[in-house]
Amino acid sequence: MATRKKGGLGKGIDALIAPSTKKEPVKEEKPVEKIVEKIVEKVVEKQVDSRLKIDEIEPNRLQPRKNFDEDALQELSESIKQFGLIQPIVVKKKDNYYEIVAGERRWRAARIAGLKEVPVVIKEYDDKESMEIAIVENLQREDLNPIEEAQAYRQLIEEFGLKQDEAAQKVSKSRTAVTNAMRLLKLDERVQQMVIDDMISGGHARALLAIEDKEEQYAMAITVFDNKMSVRETEKIVKSYLKKQDNKETAVAKTDYSQMETVYESLEERMKSIIGTKVAIRSRNYKKGKIEIEYYSNDELERIIDLIESIKQVG
């Protein structure tokens, strides 16, 4: 079954915005051009730390993460009780409250820990920038569940008109990884919810994608969960299911072919009686084919053409 990453004080985009709060040496990485970095570069020198009452802060409705692991939040809240909230929450002013741009997980854990105030960095972002930062920050953290990750990619692509390879570059992923992640959104919604609820893993879900029938797909997902099947076992049972389906379709096709042969023979006789010569219907796939009309002299060919023209004129 799927496992969920846990623990720690978790650092995402906030580590870029408030580098002075980080004590450990930073591992040098190959620079990748991201929207987040472009935005942060403009404001990092004007950073102003402050403290706000926790009740003055509200989550971002565009936050791609919809599910928060309760055990992980509890673990983080215990860490906050002991060491405090090391990384500030990034917020922006919105009407009579402050909206979280990055750091909702820490905000939730701080509430559980009973904090009345939290350190914040107040920035002036428009809605588009806020949404982009929230999406990219969560994708870079790599702790979204597979469905949330796929939804975040889709949101990034649809909201900002990006191509898959462009979205992949912004979060330092390969285009293949983004494509494979988004394929999970083709699953039956009930199966997607099972992934969200950690009943089956992303690997199980990808194996189930081969089953096109939604009801069969969901039934198979329940079987996988009930029997605690591994991903490899799921792949085998799906392969077996598809093989049985192919056999059924082949048997039906043979039956249909036999029935259509009888129909074609009847049609050939009807056309023969009208045209006065041998007619053969050559079917390719029951929906298209060709009709062959035999003639044995030029005179007979002329007669057949005259007959067809007269039928056309009557029509």
pLDDT digits (tens, 9 = 90+) for 72-112: 888 888 988 888 888 888 888 888 888 888 888 888 899 89
The confidence score (pLDDT) of residue 29 equals 44
pTM for the model stands at: 0.52
The least confident of 197-206, 280-289, 297-306 is 280-289
pLDDT confidence of residue 44: 37
Mean local confidence (pLDDT), 117-143: 75
Most confident of 41-50, 232-241, 263-272: 232-241
% of the chain beyond a pLDDT of 90: 19
Average pLDDT over residues 172-197: 91
Does 14-140 carry CATH code 3.90.1530.30? yes
Spatial strand order of the sheet with 97-102 comes to: 49-53, 117-122, 89-94, 97-102, 57-58
pLDDT beyond 90 at 4:
no
The residues spanned by each domain of the chain are: 14-140
Q: For the chain, what percent of residues have pLDDT higher than 70?
A: 74
Catalytic residues: 104
Grade residue 285 by pLDDT with cuts at 50, 70 and 90.
low
State residue 83 phi and psi, 5-degree precision. -110, -10
User: For residue 130, what pLDDT is reported?
Assistant: 73
Q: What is the pLDDT averaged over residues 128-138?
A: 73
Q: Which residues have CB under 8 Å from 207's CB, separation 6+?
A: 231, 234, 235, 238
Q: Which helix (H) or strand (E) holds 184?
A: none
